[in-house]
Structure 1
Amino acid sequence: MGMLLNISSMIDALTRYVGRAIIWLILAATLISAANAVARKAFSVGSNAFLEIQWYLFAAVFMLGAGHAFLQNAHVRIDVLANKLSKRTRMYIDIGGILFFLLPMCYLISSFAWPVLMAAYTSGEVSSNAGGLIRWPLYALVPAGFALLALQGVSEVIKRAAFLSGAGPDPTLHETDAHDPLDTGHAHSAQPASGEVNK
C-alpha cells in the first residue's frame, strides 16, 4: 500500500501543478477580452482570432481543471442521500463509481476524441471564421483533460482503499491549502466531525 500511496501523492502533485497553472489562463482570457473590446470600440479594429482564443482558454480551464476539482472534493454530491450513509459505505460507493463509471467514461471519450484530433492535426483544420485559429489544440484538450481526470480517479481509489484498510486518512477531509488559488472553500478541516471516526 505504501508504494501505491506514493503513486497517489505524485498524481496529486501533478494535479495541483496543473490546477495552479491554468488559473493564469483565466487572467489571460480576461485581458484578451478587455483588449479586444477596447480595440473594437476605440479603433474599430477586431479579429475573430481574439474571440476564439478566449473560447480556447475557457475550454482549457474547464477541461484541464476537472482533475483538480476532483482532488479538492468539489464535485457535486447528492448530500441528502450521502449524509445518511456511513463513511465506509460512502467510500465503497466512491470506489465503485470511479472504477465502473468514471474510468470507463474517460477511456471512451478519449478514444472517440483521439481520431478527431489526429484528423484535424493532419489536415491542418482551421476555423471557418475569417482569421480564425487552427482547431487541433482545442480538440487536444479533450483527451488531455480526461486523461488527467482518469489519473486523479486512480489516485482517489488508492486513497479510499487506504482509508478502508486503515493505512491512510479520510481523503475527503483535508487541510485547506493556503497557497492554492483554486481552493474554492470545499476543502474541509482535517478534523473529522463528531461521530465520523468509527463509522
Structure 2
Amino acid sequence: MAADEPMEPFMGMKVRRRSSMYRVFSADYIDVPANPTLVKLLSKQGDKQVLFADNIMKVNRKCKLVRRVLIVTDVAIYILDSTFYRLKHRIPLQNIEKVTLSELSDNFFAISVPSEYDCLMASTRKSEIVTVLVEAVKQLISGTSPENELQVKFSNSFEYYIDAEHIREVHFESAEGGGIKTRFVDK
C-alpha cells in the first residue's frame, strides 16, 4: 500500500474473506450519472459528488431483508427503493455517530444516528462503504477535533434502534462449516 493511500479503518480488527483483502474499489456500481432520476434527486438536495453507490440489503422492522440502493455523497447517505429509486431515507453525514460491524466475515453493518433511528444493512462491499463513510465524514468536518470523527466499533453483539423507542440486539457467531450465524433479539 502506498503512503498516500488511505488505510482501511478496520485493518486487523476483524476476520476478512480472502477475496476482499486485495479488492480494488470502484465506488459507483450502479452508474449514477447515467440515471436521470438519481441525478435529479441528488442535484435537488445539493449534493456535489457521489462517493459510493450500490445495491444493498436493509434489515427492516420485521427482520426481513429488503433490497435497497445505498448512495453516499459528500454530504449525506441516501437509501432508495431499488425499483423506482424513490427516496426512503436521507441521513446527513454529520448526524452519524458511529458504524458498528462484527469481528467476523459477515456482510452486516449498522449506521447509528442518535437523532433518528439506526440502519442495519448487509453488503458484500461493506469494507468499501465503511472506508468511504470514514473519509467522507473526515472531509466534511475537517478542522474539527478528532473526537468528532466517525467512530468505527467492532462487536459480535450490539444493539441498534429500529425506531425512536424500540431496541433490537443482533448477535453474530461462527457456525460449523465456516459460516456465520446471525440472531436478532427484540428488547
TM-score, normalised relative to structure 1 = 0.24
Could you say which structure has the greater relative contact order, defined with CA pairs below 8 angstroms and 6 or more residues apart? 1
The structure with the largest alpha-carbon Rg is 1
Q: Which has the higher helix share?
A: 1
